[in-house]
Amino acid sequence: MSDSKPEDSKSEDPDRRSFLSKVSTLTMAGGLIAGYGAFAGMALRLLYPSHGRKVSWVFVGEAEKIRLNDAIRLQTPTGQAVTITRLKQDGTADDFLALSTTCPHLGCQVHWEPQHNRFFCPCHNGAFDPTGKATEGPPAAARQELAHFPLRIDNGLIFIQVPTEALG
């Protein structure tokens, strides 16, 4: 016969169960917090892509060489395609408009259609007016716009403010 009594082993089980229950609850809570934290971080980067990113002014070209209604394509240091269009000839940065050529709906590349005075996305027949506002297709239904980039002119030279580091 053993010296331990059956009553002693029964009294230890509730303490062990209580401990294991607390440990598993804390482990599960920690996993949920980490998972939701990672999800929130990814959502913020998607919804606010420029938040926390380094930006700088990049030389584009000479303002006088871009004629009225002409558009030039530019690739940013992060690889994003941008179209810069001259809308007026007042001699200020407001003469120009810089828009991303990436459709906010699914990320397809839009292109300028001068005959229709619009940017067109071939993926789902999305269309954007010359200011980047969606007018047709899924982007219009979602009230999306093409991303705008700030421009400035210094001594007749155009500069654009763009991110210099990619997400990630």
Q: What span, in angstroms and rounded, lies between the C-alpha atoms of 21 and 114? A: 67
Same domain, 44 and 61: no
Same domain, 42 and 79: no
Question: Which pLDDT band holds residue 7 (cuts at 50, 70, 90)?
Answer: low
Same domain, 3 and 65: no
Number of structural domains in the chain: 2
Amino acid 146: pLDDT: 93
Span 25-66, pLDDT tens digits: 989 988 888 888 887 777 766 666 555 568 899 999 999 998
**Cα dihedral 49/113/64/56 (nearest 10):** 10
- Going through 52-150 in order, the beta strands assigned E by DSSP cover 55-62, 71-75, 81-86, 96-100, 111-113, 118-121, 126-128, 134-136, 148-149
- Classify residue 4: in a domain, yes or no: yes
- Classify residue 168: in a domain, yes or no: no
Residue 42 belongs to domain spanning = 1-48
Span 65-124, pLDDT tens digits: 988 888 889 998 888 899 998 888 888 889 999 999 999 988 899 988 888 888 999 998
pTM of the predicted model over 0.95 = no
Amino acid 15: pLDDT: 84
Q: Which tokens in the block code for residue 106? A: 């699914």
Cβ(23)–Cβ(29) below 8 Å? no
Domain harbouring 104, CATH code: 2.102.10.10
